[in-house]
Amino acid sequence: MSVLYFLLLVGVLVLIHELGHFVAAKLLDVKVLRFSIGYGRPLVRVKLGETEYQIGAFPLGGYVRILGIESETDSDGRSFASRPLWQRLVIVLAGPAANLLLPVIIYFVLFAGHTTLPAAVIGDVLDGGAAARAGIEPGDRVLEIDGRAVRYWEEIEAAVRRSPGKELQLRISRNGKVFERYLTPIEDTVRRRDGHVAVQGRVGITHAPFVPLVGVIDGASPAARAGLRTGDLIISVDGQAVRNWRDVQRQLGKFARRTSIVYFRGTEIPGVPQIELLGAGFADLVPETLVDAKLNRQTYTGLEHAEMFVAHVDAGSPADSAGLRPGDLVVSLDDKPVAHWMDLDQRLQAEPNKTFKLTWRRAGVGDAPAETLHAEVTQVWRKQLDEYNHTVSRLVFGARNDVDRGKGAMVAIEGRVGYAMSKAFSRTGETISTMSRGFFQIVTGDTPGEALGGPLMMYRVASVSGNKGWDSFLLMLALISVNLGLINLLPIPMLDGGHLLVFAVEGARRKPLTPKQRERIQLAGLILIGLITILAIRNDVMRFFFQ
C-alpha cells in the first residue's frame, strides 16, 4: 500500500498542476499539442481535435505540451510565444494556482463532513486567570463577545488570541440569567513547532472540564488514611455521581463529615505496561476541620486535583537532573504559583534559554509530612527524529502530567456549507503563510539545508499519512500541494517562476531575449535545480540510512 500511496500522492499533485496549465491554454485558445497522464511509452493514445491525449507507462504525474513554449513555431498566431503578456502570465500562473486551489477543495470536503462543533460553553476556569478574576464559572455559555454573537468555542479562542492586553466584553448566560462580564487577556508568548514565536491572548479557560482525577501528597491527611492515592479517579461522592473536579469540590465542600467515595484505580498488567486494568475501590473519608489565626474554619481532606502531579520524568532531561520524580507536586515557577500544567508549559516556552527556579513538594515516607524542594532548571534544545525521519529541534523540559480532559459541550453547525467554505479558505491561507515562512527561513539560513527532502522523504510522508487513514492522507496532500505551488513560483529558470522572471526581464529591456540568452538562462536553471536535487537526495540518504 505504501507504493500506492506514493504514486497517488505524486501523481495527483503533478496532474493537478499540469491540468491548470492545460485548462488556461484551452480557454485562451492557445494550441495544446499533448496532454499526458504519466510519462514514458504511451499505453493509450487518442487524438481529439488538435490535441493528443495519452496515458504513459510510468504513472507518476503527467505533463502538458503547449505550442511555442519550447521551439515550435506556428503560422496562425496560436502559439504561447505569440500571445500578449497577460495571456502568457495566466497560462504560467495557472499551474501553481491549481496547486493552491486543491487544498481549498480538500479542506472543504473534510470540513463539510462535520456536523457538530465544540459549543461556546466554559468547561473549566483556571485559578488565578483573567476569567476567574472576572467571575466566569464552569458551565457559563458565552453569547456575545464585544457585541458579536458567538456559537462555537473556536470563536472564543480566536477572539481571545487576537486581543492580548485588550479588554473584552462578554455576554454570558448562566442558569437562565443573562449578564455581562469584562476581562482582559494577558499576553502569552507561544513557540510553534516551526520555531515561529507569536504573542497571543490568554484568559485561563478550557472547553473540556477537568476529570475528577486526584492526587495525595500529605501522607497523614484524611485522604491518605482512607486509602486514596495519586491517580485515583473519583466516580461518586456519597452516592452522587461526579463528572468533573468541580463536582468533587462541591460535594466535599458542603460539610466536614464522614463521606463515602467510590473510585477507579488502574493496575498495570505485568509485561504490558501500556495497558491498565481498572478496579473499583471504596473509601471512607473523614475530613478534618482546620481553624486559622482569624478563627476561620476550613474543611481539610488532603485531596488535590492530579493536574500538577508529575506522572513521567524522562531520564537525562533537565527535570530529571533537577531532581523531579514521578509523584511530586509542582508548586511554583520562579516563586509564582502554577495551578495548571498548560500554564507551566507556556511559561517555559516563553523563555527557552532562561534558568528557572522550580519548587515542588514530595510525599514523606509513611505518615511523615511532605517536604518542599527547590532546584534551578534550564531547558535544552535536542534534535529528535519525527515519524517522517526528519530531524527536528525540540525544547525539552522532561516532565509531564497524565491527566485526561473530559468531554465538553457540543452544538450543531449552522450553515454547514458556508462554514466549510470559510474554513477551507482560512486553513489554506494559514498553510500558505506557514509554508512561505519556511521557505524564507531556508533562504536566510535559519532553517538548515538538511531540512530539504527528496523522493525518499516523499515516499515516507505518503506511507505514514496513508496508513493513518484517508483524512490524514488528504491533509498531507493539501499541505504538499501548497508546497509544490509555492516552489513553482520561485524565480528559478525551468520553473513557472522562471517564466515570470523572463517576462520581467523582457519588460525591463522592452524587447525579447534572444534564443541564445534563453538557452543560457535555461542552463543556469537546470544546473541550480540539479544541485538542489542532489542536496535533497543526499539528505534522504543520510536521513534514512545513516541516522
Compute the average pLDDT of residues 323-352. 91
Percent of the chain with pLDDT over 70: 94
Name the 3-class secondary structure at 111: helix
How far apart (Å, rounded) are the C-alpha atoms in residues 234 and 228? 10
Report pLDDT for 543.
81
pLDDT at position 357 over 80: yes
User: Phi, psi at residue 186, to the nearest 5°?
Assistant: -80, 160
Q: Quote the CA–CA distance of 80 and 502 in Å, as a whole number.
A: 14
Residues near 452 by beta carbon (within 8 Å), at least 6 away in sequence: 442, 532, 535, 536, 539
144 catalytic residue (yes or no): no
CATH of range 214-307; options 2.30.42.10, 3.40.50.720, 3.40.50.980, 3.30.70.3270: 2.30.42.10
pLDDT at 270: 67
Q: Which residue has the higher pLDDT, 471 or 510?
A: 471
Task: Tell how far CA 94 is from the center of its chain.
Answer: 30
Instruction: List phi, psi (to 5°) of 314.
Output: -75, 130
pLDDT in tens, 138-185: 999 999 999 999 999 999 999 999 999 999 999 999 999 999 999 999
pLDDT at 343 over 90: no
Higher pLDDT pick, 529 / 134? 134
| Secondary structure (3-state) at 445 | coil
CB atoms within 10 A of CB 319: 25
Would you say the CATH fold of 309-400 matches that of 118-206?
yes
Write the CB contacts of 48 (distance below 8 Å, at least 6 apart in sequence).
none
Of 113-127, 221-235, 330-344, 391-405, which range is least confident? 391-405
Q: How confident is the model at residue 49 (pLDDT cuts 50, 70, 90)?
A: confident
* pLDDT at residue 120, as a whole number: 96
Residues 6+ away with beta carbon under 8 Å from 83: 28, 30, 68, 91
Q: What is the pLDDT of residues 90-113, one digit of tens each?
A: 999 999 999 999 999 999 999 999
- Outline where DSSP puts E strands in 369-417: 371-378, 380-385, 391-396, 399-400, 410-412
In angstroms, rounded to a whole number, what is the distance separating the alpha carbons of residues 84 and 77? 11
CB 119 within 8 A of CB 173: no
Q: Which CATH superfamily is domain 309-400 in?
A: PDZ domain (2.30.42.10)
Domain spans in the chain, listed from the N-terminal domain onward: 84-113+426-545, 118-206, 214-307, 309-400
Check residue 194 and give its pLDDT: 53
Predicted local distance difference test score (pLDDT) of residue 366: 74
pLDDT at position 68 is 80
* Furthest C-alpha separation in the chain: 103
The region, left, alpha or beta by phi > 0 then psi within -120 to 50, assigned to residue 38 is left
- Amino acid at the residue 255: F
Three state DSSP letters for 81-104:
CCCCHHHHHHHHHHHHHHHHHHHH
Place of cell 525540540: 394
In this structure, the chain runs to a length of 547
Give the DSSP H or E segment for 473: helix 470-488
Please provide residue 352's backbone torsions phi and psi, each rounded to the nearest 5 degrees. -65, -25
**How far is residue 5's CA from residue 16's CA, in Å, rounded to a whole number?**
16
Degrees (nearest 5) of the Cα angle 318, 323, 326? 95
Q: What is the mean pLDDT of residues 217-226?
A: 91
How confident is the model over 287-305, as a mean pLDDT?
81
pLDDT at 216 over 80: yes
- 407 or 117, higher pLDDT: 117
User: Measuring CA to CA, which residue among 174, 47, 96, 104 is closest to residue 496?
Assistant: 96
Distance CA 479, CA 388 (A): 15
Q: Predicted confidence band at 267 (pLDDT cuts at 50, 70, 90)?
A: confident
Mean pLDDT of the chain: 88
Q: Minimal CA–CA distance to 333: which of 377, 396, 363, 381?
A: 377
- Say if residues 212 and 226 touch (Cβ distance below 8 Å): no
CA distance 328 to 360: 7
Q: Which of 18, 180, 304, 430 is catalytic?
A: 18
Sign of CA dihedral 430, 431, 437, 440: negative
429-445 pLDDT, tens digit each: 999 998 888 888 777 77
| pLDDT score of 150 | 96
| Residue for grid cell 514523606 | 364
Assigned CATH for 118-206: 2.30.42.10
CB contact at 8 A, 205 and 177: no
Average of per-residue pLDDT across 2-30: 90
Q: How far apart are CA 325 and CA 317, in angstroms?
A: 11
CB-CB contact of 317 with 396 (8 Å): yes
pLDDT per residue as tens digits for the range 187-211: 887 766 555 677 889 999 999 888 8
Question: Are the CB atoms for 398 and 317 separated by under 8 Å?
Answer: yes
